[in-house]
Amino acid sequence: MFKTIFNKFSSSTNKKNLGSSLFAHKNYENKLFNSIVGYSDIKKFLMRCIVSKEQVHILFTGPPATSKTVFLLEMSTELSNSYFIDSTATSGIGIVDFLFSNPNTKFLLIDEIDKLTKKDQTVLYNLMETGILSEMKAEKTKGFRQQKMNIKIFATCNELNKLTQPLKSRFMKLELPEYTWEEFLTISNNLIKSRYKYLDERLSTRIAEVVWKDIKTKDIRDVLKIARLTRNLEDIEDTAHTLMKYKPKD
């Protein structure tokens, strides 16, 4: 269903009165990125970027487990003509080959873009700068390919200093802040409620508390790991006790 909404919005990019058609949709914020708790301003901003006729490029930075990757994954499921790339497992050549074979790609979703080599970052930078995908093969005999593309890049980055300056400067950057305790609790409760229906709020609150105040990782992933092993309060206390006792030093 959401795919339909996104298709509608993204295909309406070249229609007039786009803004009014987008924002006329009732409660659209709740329908898009619906697995992500909070960030209603960012969701709205991303929708503007998605429907815009202009070539906008967005970069998410921020601490671990602030849902940077989930934003890209939601877009990859909901947007037609999108391509999700895990930079730790893909090379620039792989990306370029894919784009030459799929010239209608509109949304390039690059997770952990800082893991791409400098050379691969240059290919992307050129594409963002000129809208032209270029490939110069090492051996002259293999020739030279070029292709005009109307593409938007949405990326996440863990270490901003690993990005080349020209690439960095082509992005609009959003740094997601660390969660406050109240946000952490709300997100934990929401996620546990939707994924582990048999755990009530008293249990999910306790899990959030031990991760935040005792284990002190402040990582939503740890909340979900403990929730998976929990049936009652005793499970939480036992697991938390063991994790604290053997917590790695670094």
Ligand X SMILES: Nc1ncnc2c1ncn2[C@@H]1O[C@H](COP(=O)(O)OP(=O)(O)OP(=O)(O)O)[C@@H](O)[C@H]1O
Residue 90 zone, left/alpha/beta (φ > 0; ψ -120 to 50; rest): beta
Buried residues in 169-202 as b, exposed as e (16+ CB within 10 A): ebbeebebeebeeeebbebbbebbeeebeebeee
**CB closer to ligand X, 124 vs 220:** 220
Phi-psi region of 24 (alpha: psi -120 to 50; beta: other; left: phi over 0): alpha
- Given ligand X, Mg ion, none, residue 66, with its beta carbon under 5 to 8 Å by kind, binds ligand X
Q: Which is nearer to ligand X, 96 or 208 (CB)?
A: 208
**Toward ligand X, which CB reaches closer, 66 or 121?**
66
Specify the residue, 10 or 87, whose C-beta has the smaller distance to Mg ion.
87
Residue 36 makes contact with ligand X by CB under 6 A: yes
Helix (H, G, I), strand (E, B) or coil at 189: helix
Asked if 68 is part of the footprint of ligand X (rule: CB under 6 A), the reply reads yes
Q: From 18-26, 61-69, 79-87, 89-97, give the range in contact with ligand X by CB under 6 A.
A: 61-69
| From candidates 79, 128, 133, 191, binder to ligand X by CB under 6 A | 191
Among 46, 47, 67, 110, binds ligand X (CB under 6 A): 67
Q: Kindly tell me which residue out of 12, 21, 55, 69 binds ligand X, with binding defined by CB under 6 A.
A: 69
Choice between 69 and 164, CB closer to ligand X: 69
76 binds Mg ion (CB under 5 A): no
In angstroms, the CA 239 to CA 214 distance is 12
Separation of alpha carbons 83 and 98, rounded Å: 9
Residue 69 in the binding site for Mg ion (CB under 5 A): yes
Buried b (16+ CB within 10 A) or exposed e, 215-238: beebbbebbbebbeebeeeebbee
Q: Which is nearer to ligand X, 18 or 42 (CB)?
A: 42
Q: Which of residues 89-128 bind ligand X (CB under 6 A)?
A: none
The only residue of 46, 47, 59, 65 in contact with ligand X, by rule CB under 6 A? 65
User: In angstroms, what is the minimal distance from the CB of 37 to ligand X?
Assistant: 4
The dihedral built from the CA positions of residue 54, 60, 61 and 62, taken in this order, carries a sign that is positive
Q: Please give the full DSSP string across 93-155, using - where no structure is assigned.
A: HHHHHHHHH-TT--EEEEETGGGS-HHHHHHHHHHHHHSEEEEE-SSGGG-EEEEE---EEEE
- How many residues interact with Mg ion (rule CB under 5 A)? 1
Token look-up 């301003």 returns 41
Among 221, 231, 241, 247, binds ligand X (CB under 6 A): 221
**Site for ligand X (CB under 6 A): which residue of 13, 21, 105, 158?**
158
DSSP 196-211: -TTS-HHHHHHHHHII
The residue ranges that bind ligand X (CB under 6 A) are 36-38, 64-70, 156, 158, 187, 191, 220-221, 224
